[in-house]
Amino acid sequence: LFWHRASEAAFVPNQEEMTVRYMVDGVVTTREPLTAEEGKALIEYIKPVAGLDPAEVRRPQKGEISADVGSRRIDISVVTAGTTNGQQMQVSILQEIVRQDIEKLGIGEDVLKTVREMNRKPGIIIVSGRSGSGVTSTLYSLLREHDAFMQHLVTLEAKAAVPLENITQNVYGEPSKLEATLAPVLRRDPDVVMIDAVRDHESAELLLEAARTKIILMGMHAEDTFTALAKWAKLCKNAGAAVQNLNGVLCQRMVRNLCTTCREAYKPDPQMLAKANLPANKCEQFY
């Protein structure tokens, strides 16, 4: 798992063997399957290490493992559940799921400079994208741009992705409980607030008021910046108020970064280039 740069691995049993799938750079790849006996032995070994009950083979369980790999400490999430063919297991490397260094997210220099400027003054920054596009990573990295020792940094999350040192993390669980969790958090006068999503008008109103003096980092599920802005205006029920203290709206996509050593070149199809409005005479090869 570590040596193949996989962020997730799934072990799914069928009648004769156990299918193994890795998630590498956002792409699922199927590995050599294990025999049913090998898969069962693997899960039985991992479960007690992750603090799970080996005797429980039906009910879903979740645990964690910390391991030292070379000079790195890696936290691993382990989830098991019963199926008609036996137990299945999903393993996720938390450090790969949520990266916290904004300079390593692949943002262009000009955009990165603008984002950092927005992140220095009170107001709202909306970070949007599809599911699995790295919105949480961007939110965490923006939060990490602030000094956790000199400022009061807080998060509101339905479920904390990873623990953040010197940052107060608040888990609200159900979306209906967000407002009740948000109000007391804002009364403690934090400097920076990161919130993974907003789905109700009452919470939006609280954030609009807080954005006058605080930096608000907000996640949102949207296909593009216009959709994200429209969703925010609808939540606020007042377009003018929605943009009054809005510093910016970001929308991102996950793009696979190919290895320059093992990538394979091919001649692009002229019809495909025409559909993409790309000049065929300037595109000699793709990878």
- pLDDT tens, position by position, 271-283: 999 988 999 888 8
Instruction: Single out the residue of 82, 147, 94 nearest to residue 119, CA to CA.
Output: 147
For residues 207-224, give the mean pLDDT.
97
Strand order in the sheet with 168-171: 168-171, 153-157, 192-195, 215-221, 123-129, 246-252
Return mean pLDDT, the chain: 91
Inform me whether the pLDDT recorded for 170 exceeds 90.
yes
Higher pLDDT, 254 or 187: 187
Split at pLDDT 50, 70, 90, the class of 96 is low
For residue 99, what pLDDT is reported? Answer: 60
**Contact by Cβ (8 Å): 7, 96:** yes
For residue 229, what pLDDT is reported? Answer: 97
Q: 214 burial class (0-12, 13-18, 19+ CB within 10 angstroms)?
A: buried
